[in-house]
Amino acid sequence: MSSEYEKDGQPSKTADASPEDANSLSKDETKKFYEDKGIDFSPDSPIRPKPIPPFEKSISDKIASKFGSKVNIDYVRPSRIRISTKKEDILDVAFFIRDELGYDHAESVAGVDYPDSKEIEVVYHLGSYTDEKLVTQVLALATRVPREEIPNPGKDSTRMTSLREVFYSVEFHERECFEMFGVYFEGHPDNRRLLLPEDWADIPPFRKDFKIKGR
């Protein structure tokens, strides 16, 4: 993951892998486990460093040179770029991505809840149909909004600018993100519930503090 994540310690804090985890064997043990059963041992290093692809690098460089310290290039991989920005700047960055770089639609808008750092991340996955060079690319544009301990969707500080005027296709995705995470999108003309029932009275269900019964 990005340097930003490690700085926050967000996923890794919750993730403090307990070495005594009974289910996870050490490398040698796993090897033995499989060799005893006569099975090929799968590759054991999960993350291998990959060379940075030049085309993707050129796109991320364009964004970085335009916005400087306002954006953070989280990673550049084959066909995938992820950049994160402050929520105040996201509209400018989105306009630049659409008008200068040629991305024209959103594939998904995903919320990710980080209760430990009191933030909710909103990730836009953007793609392009029109630019032949960009058809394999998916650009993830991420921003973080404050998270309230007791959510009051639509009325608390969990809000950001809607990207609907930039990418029209985010309309229903943002409505889903609003009801599932309580992120209010300012400027969205239709911030109603989409999937949840009208009489849903609990907190937004995809937040981490909403627990499934029995789990």
Partner 1 sequence: MATQLPPGIQLEKVDDRIMTLNVGPQHPGSGHMRLIIKVDGDYIVSCDPDPGYVHRGEEKMAEYRNYIQNIPHLERPVIHDSCNILYPYCLAVEELLGIEVPERAKYIRVIASELNRCIYTLYWLAIYGIFLGHSTMFMWPAGDRELFIDLLEAMSGARVTHAYLVPGGVRNDLPANFEERCLRQVDYLEKRLKEYQSIFYKNPILISRTEGTGILSRTDAIRLGTTGSVLRASGVDYDIRKKEPYDVYENLDFETVVRKEGDSYARSYIPYLEMFESCRIIRDAIRKMPKSGSVRTKLKPNPKGGNDEVYKRVESGRGSLGYYIVSNNRPEPYRVKISVGSFRNLICMPYLLKGELLGNMPSVYWGLNYWPVEADR
Cβ distance to partner 1 smaller for residue 66 or 193: 193
Residues 41-70 that bind partner 1 (CB under 8 A): 42-48
What span, in angstroms and rounded, lies between the C-alpha atoms of 123 and 145?
Answer: 11
Residues 105-134 that bind partner 1 (CB under 8 A): 105-108, 110, 112-113, 123, 125, 129-130
Q: Position 151: which residue type?
A: P
What span, in angstroms and rounded, lies between the C-alpha atoms of 201 and 109?
Answer: 24
Cβ distance to partner 1 smaller for residue 9 or 187: 9
Under the criterion CB under 8 A, does residue 104 sit at the interface with partner 1?
yes
Q: Position 208: which residue type?
A: K
For residue 115, is it left (φ>0), alpha (ψ between -120 and 50) or beta?
Answer: alpha
Write phi, then psi, for 95 (nearest 5 degrees). -60, -40
Encoded tokens for 45: 């290093």
Which residues of this protein are in contact with partner 1, per CB under 8 A?
Answer: 1, 5-6, 10-12, 14-15, 17, 21, 23-25, 30, 33-34, 39-40, 42-48, 79-80, 82, 104-108, 110, 112-113, 123, 125, 129-130, 135-136, 138, 140, 167-173, 176, 193-198, 205-206, 210, 212, 215
